[in-house]
Amino acid sequence: MPHIILQYTDNIKKGRNFNPLFSEIHSLLSNKAGIDPINCKSRAIKLTDFFIGEGDKPNAFVHLEIRIFQGRTPVIKQGIGNEILKMLKNHFQENLNIQFTIEIVEMDKELYFKS
């Protein structure tokens, strides 16, 4: 825990080496939320079927979902979200109209099972 799930539209061609980005995110979560980086599980999912707005070709999106256990203050979560938003904008620099979104989802520790 946590799970970091990055979804991006396949019209984004640059920035597809996600390891540096994931490493930055893991470090941030460690520093800001006290999460051990060894527990971070990240993945990127390329979306080939998508439709944005009125279907214009130069539109794209990047959505990052971070699933963490409950217990962080709103200030910590807002700080994480704002810093990761900057990271995403730096990572995906392209001549597209990219919408960036981040969602932090709290999970109930009692309902998460791991072996």
Residue with tokens 């962080």, as numbered in its chain:
72
**Helix, strand, or coil here: 68?**
strand
* The token pair that represents 115 in the structure block: 């072996």
- What pTM, to 2 d.p., does this model score? 0.92
User: What is the chain's pLDDT, residue by residue, as a tens digit (115 residues)?
Assistant: 899 999 999 999 887 899 999 999 999 999 999 999 999 999 999 999 999 999 888 999 999 999 999 999 999 999 999 999 999 999 998 889 999 999 999 999 889 898 8
Give the ranges where 1-115 is alpha helix by DSSP (H): 19-33, 74-91
Domains of the chain, with CATH numbers? Answer: 3-111 (3.30.429.10)
